[in-house]
Amino acid sequence: MSMRILLVEDARLVAEPLVHALGRAGYAVDAACDGARGLELARTGAYDAIVLDIMLPQLDGLSMLAKLRRERIDTPVILLTARGDVRDRVRGLDAGADDYLAKPFHVEELLARIRAVLRRRGAPDSASAIQELGLCYVPESRELQHEGVSVALTPKEGLVLEALMRASGHTVTRERLELAVWGPDDAASDTRLDVQVSLVRTKLRAVGAPVRIRAVRGMGYVLEEEGESRERS
């Protein structure tokens, strides 16, 4: 059974890609575009985690969170905040938020934070094993499997592979991969990412996987089946 996530976000350009990405990661997602509707859905207790923007119409995210906690609804909540607004982060954590994420952010970081709050609450993480193109990768143990053969990845190799698997068949830009591996405050050199990709290719060969990581000139990399050269629509 899929874990259920409630996304409360009023910006359509943010919400729609997040709903798609969460669905691809194995979660069942409901979305609300204002705090009042979000509170109504959250009160059902049907969700394993809530991703909650602070700036919302009708009822802001902090007020919605406070109401939930007063009603003893303890569903894990990850707040989406403005990058520089420390006061909102402090108020949110004091009000009972489990974590926060500053905008703009990459979906890989949000997924990691969701997995973390689910683990802290003791919830089984149905999205922990990523399965694409005949591969199975478990981020928690950093184990890559293919047809009964397994190999362990280093932390950075794992982050590269996870980002590529979650977008299999589509180009992942260098910038997105660098952010997933090194974070926003540690810019990668021109060759450091290429070294990690080369190491991941070695691990894929070690398990005999009929896939490849193809470099897309001037853009990034794509994980695809051997012989493929056209991205999915």
Confidence at 128, pLDDT banded by 50, 70, 90: low
**Interacting residues of 93 by C-beta distance below 8 A, sequence separation 6+:** 100
DSSP H helical ranges for the chain = 12-24, 35-42, 61-70, 86-95, 107-120, 155-166, 174-182, 192-206
Q: What is the pLDDT of residue 230?
A: 54
d(CA 77, CA 6): 9
Confidence at 188, pLDDT banded by 50, 70, 90: low
More confident residue, 121 or 177: 177
Q: What is the pLDDT of residue 142?
A: 85
Does the global pTM surpass 0.85? Answer: no
Across the chain, what does the average pLDDT equal? 86
Q: What is the pLDDT of residue 233?
A: 39
Residue 1 has pLDDT above 80, yes or no: no
d(CA 89, CA 109): 17
Q: What is the pLDDT of residue 157?
A: 93
Which of 28, 192, 36, 17 has its CA nearest to residue 103? Answer: 17
Q: What is the pLDDT of residue 207?
A: 94
Confidence at 151, pLDDT banded by 50, 70, 90: very high
Residue 189 has pLDDT above 70, yes or no: no
Residue 73 has pLDDT above 50, yes or no: yes
Average pLDDT over residues 35-47: 90
Residue 166 has pLDDT above 90, yes or no: no
In what helix (H) or strand (E) does residue 26 lie, and over which residues does it extend? none
Amino acid at 17: P
